[in-house]
């Protein structure tokens, strides 16, 4: 007997973006329907892309805070809004605007089809986090009009992006949406979260000049993230399909002592070559 399709919503927040929101709307809109997307605009000075189409928009006043309090406030707001959305939806996906969850293309299933087919899913589902960056010797600057994964072939396997981003009931996310308070996590073997915040060297390093970010203490955080370019450019990458099962096991069983309900980072900064079947997906 065919399982009924679940109603699924995707939600994000955005400020001062000129690249990712268009892709985010297209990616999750194609997967779930644009009428099932919620975009929170951080500031009444923010605008949507011209081709955004019909989606749900919440405009909040921009009230700057230092980075850590701002991240905590954002997690609380997203958790409460997501909790309310369960009056309308069976599942809620919460991501940053530069994070894209995809189903392994080998299954030939869309995101909604795959999630609808899960039997008794847990309270939260994590996808394996892949932090995609530009290989400075082998890859050209990004063409924003072409798919990201047609232009980028390498990713750092990062527990920071193995986030419990898919919720099946009201939950409370911690700062940065990296964990669910009071609950464990489960990494789904067929889901991947591609983080593209560092997808292009010129664009990404330019973020440190954003006056909003500099004024609220983001400079050090962004400089740490920019190390991804060195990690990828100077690595000896391994085949993704060989390493993905290892990464899931390591991240499942190795936890940081300060937060046992989220995965720990894998030593050695492993870098994988993204399999060809993911080309063109984002």
Q: Per-residue pLDDT tens for 25-76?
A: 999 999 999 999 999 999 999 999 988 989 999 999 999 999 889 999 999 9
Share of the chain above pLDDT 90, in %: 82
CA separation for the pair 193, 104 (Å, rounded): 11
pLDDT at 97 over 80: yes
Q: What is the pTM of this model?
A: 0.93
CA separation for the pair 102, 282 (Å, rounded): 9
Query: Which helix H or strand E contains 232, and what residues bound it?
Result: helix 227-233
**What pLDDT was estimated at residue 222?**
60
Residue range 198-222: mean pLDDT, rounded? 67
**What pLDDT was estimated at residue 220?**
52
The per-residue pLDDT of the chain, averaged, comes to 92
Cα angle value 228/78/250 (rounded, 5°): 45
Share of the chain above pLDDT 70, in %: 93
Report the relative pairing of strands 124-133 and 154-157 from DSSP bridges.
Answer: antiparallel
Long-range contact pairs involving 220-228 (C-beta distance under 8 Å, separation at least 24): 221/67, 225/197, 225/198, 226/198, 228/131, 228/133, 228/156, 228/198
Q: Which residues contact 37 (CB under 8 A, 6 or more apart)?
A: 9, 10, 11, 25, 28, 29, 55, 56
Question: What residues form DSSP beta bridges with 91?
Answer: 8
In this prediction, residue 214 has a pLDDT band, given cuts at 50, 70 and 90, of low
**What pLDDT was estimated at residue 213?**
58
**What pLDDT was estimated at residue 39?**
98
| DSSP H stretches of helix in 33-186 | 67-85, 111-116
pLDDT at 219 over 70: no
CA separation for the pair 129, 95 (Å, rounded): 12
Tell me the per-residue pLDDT of 131-177, one tens digit each, with 9 for 90 and over: 999 999 999 999 999 999 999 999 999 999 999 999 999 999 999 89
**What pLDDT was estimated at residue 137?**
95
Report the relative pairing of strands 37-42 and 124-133 from DSSP bridges.
Answer: unpaired
DSSP state of 54: S
**What pLDDT was estimated at residue 205?**
81
């Amino acid at each position: 007997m065919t399982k009924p399709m679940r109603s699924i919503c995707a939600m994000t927040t955005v400020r001062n973006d000129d690249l990712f929101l268009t892709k985010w709307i297209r990616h999750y809109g194609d997967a779930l329907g644009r009428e099932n997307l919620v975009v929170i605009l951080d500031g009444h000075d923010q605008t949507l892309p011209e081709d955004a189409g019909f989606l749900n928009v919440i405009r909040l006043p921009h009230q700057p805070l230092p980075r850590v309090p701002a991240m905590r406030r954002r997690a609380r707001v997203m958790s409460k809004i997501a909790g309310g959305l369960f009056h309308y939806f069976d599942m809620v996906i919460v991501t940053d605007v530069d994070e894209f969850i995809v189903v392994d293309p080998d299954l030939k299933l869309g995101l909604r089809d795959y999630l609808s087919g899960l039997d008794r899913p847990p309270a939260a589902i994590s996808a394996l986090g892949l932090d995609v960056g530009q290989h400075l010797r082998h890859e050209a600057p990004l063409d924003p009009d072409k798919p990201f994964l047609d232009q980028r072939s390498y990713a750092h396997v990062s527990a920071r992006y193995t986030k419990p981003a898919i919720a099946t009931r009201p939950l409370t996310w911690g700062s940065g949406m990296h964990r669910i308070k009071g609950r464990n996590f489960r990494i789904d073997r067929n889901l991947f979260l591609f983080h593209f915040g560092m997808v292009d060297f010129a664009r990404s390093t330019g973020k440190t000049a954003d006056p909003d970010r500099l004024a609220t203490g983001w400079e050090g955080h962004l400089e740490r993230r920019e190390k991804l370019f060195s990690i990828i450019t100077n690595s000896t990458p391994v085949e993704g399909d060989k390493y993905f099962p290892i990464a899931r096991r390591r991240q499942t069983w190795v936890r940081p002592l300060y937060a046992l309900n989220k995965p720990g980072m894998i030593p050695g900064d492993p870098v994988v070559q993204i399999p060809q079947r993911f080309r063109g997906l984002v």
